[in-house]
Amino acid sequence: MVDWRIVALSVLPGRRLDVTFADGLRGIVDLSRERWEGALAALTDDAFFAKAALHDGVVTWPGGVELAPDAMYDEVQAAEQSSASSGRR
């Protein structure tokens, strides 16, 4: 099983996703500051964003819009590592 495959998803206010990956890593992916263009432009609409669903380990939206789970994994992992290192003194 691929570590970055998403196994649980919750859509949060403010265009954020609470995701859990196959290896147990869990975190929030904040997409509120993204400048979506082209096929992804619909993600700027909060009502459309709220339609996020999980399909075969990938976050998808109607019309075939999807986001790369490996990039989300890297973001969550980096945030976790940053949080852990900032707690050390």
More confident residue, 81 or 88: 81
User: DSSP 3-state assignment of 27?
Assistant: strand
The kind and range of the H/E element at 72 are helix 69-86
Q: Which residues contact 32 (CB under 8 A, 6 or more apart)?
A: 14, 15, 16
- Tokens linked to 24: 């147990």
pLDDT digit string (tens) for 32-44?
Answer: 999 999 989 999 9
What pLDDT does 87 receive? Answer: 67
Across all residues in the chain, what is the average pLDDT?
91
Q: List the domains of the chain with CATH numbers.
A: 6-86 (3.30.2020)
Q: Which residues contact 37 (CB under 8 A, 6 or more apart)?
A: none
Interstrand relation of 58-61 and 6-12 (parallel, antiparallel or unpaired): unpaired
Q: Rounded to two decimals, what is the model's pTM?
A: 0.88
